[in-house]
Amino acid sequence: MFRFENDRALIESFRPRDRRVIEMPDGISFPLFVRDYLAWTETSGARVYLIFSAPGSRKPIGIIFRREPPGGEPTYRMCEWCHSYGTSAEVGMLTTDVDNKRRVGVTLCNDLRCKEKLEDAADRAGRHPLQVLEELNARMFRFAHEALGIDSQPQPAV
């Protein structure tokens, strides 16, 4: 869980290289409490924004993904974070820049609504969703750490 006092704090949770392209979500008000993570899609649908925290940390981490348009015949894919299946219109390749020359991608739910899917599955199975949400958070952080080199310590401003 973490809290944003204002829009500046939210923007500063993203890497300095990404801050110039942020489109704030509609209807957001501050202070903003985030229990698990915050995700939204920009108006054009080209970018998906994610803010979460490392396991055991309250420091928010922001990542901006580009959503690749589905091409060709519809296929079925599995989200690497919540393990939900969907068509290529629902689950696809989301990419983000590592630096000016490298980009990494991961197959995820296009709208990053993994939390809702996991909570629904837990409710249907009669289980508490806490453990699966902690595992989701760990997978998010593992991607950020291994692919982007983000750690749970504050990043210096550039």
pLDDT digits (tens, 9 = 90+) for 82-93: 999 999 889 999
Kind plus residue range of the DSSP H or E element containing 28 = none
Parent domain of 20:
2-148
- Tell me, yes or no, whether 51 lies in a domain: yes
- Tell me, yes or no, whether 153 lies in a domain: no
DSSP bridge pairs for 96: 104
- Tell me, yes or no, whether 33 lies in a domain: yes
Residue 7 near residue 51, CB atoms below 8 Å = no
The residue to which tokens 């519809």 are assigned: 74
**CB neighbour list of residue 39: distance below 8 Å, 6 or more residues apart:** 48, 49, 50, 51, 111, 112, 113
Q: Give per-residue burial for 132-146: e unless 16+ CB within 10 Å, then b.
A: bbeebbebbbebbee
This prediction's pTM: 0.91
The tally of domains found in the chain comes to 1
- Tell me, yes or no, whether 156 lies in a domain: no
Please give the backbone phi and psi of residue 13, each rounded to the nearest 5 degrees, phi first. Answer: -75, -15
pLDDT tens per residue, range 50-90:
999 999 888 999 999 999 877 778 889 999 999 999 998 89
- Tell me, yes or no, whether 157 lies in a domain: no
pLDDT tens per residue, range 102-153:
999 999 999 999 999 999 999 999 999 999 999 999 999 999 999 999 987 5
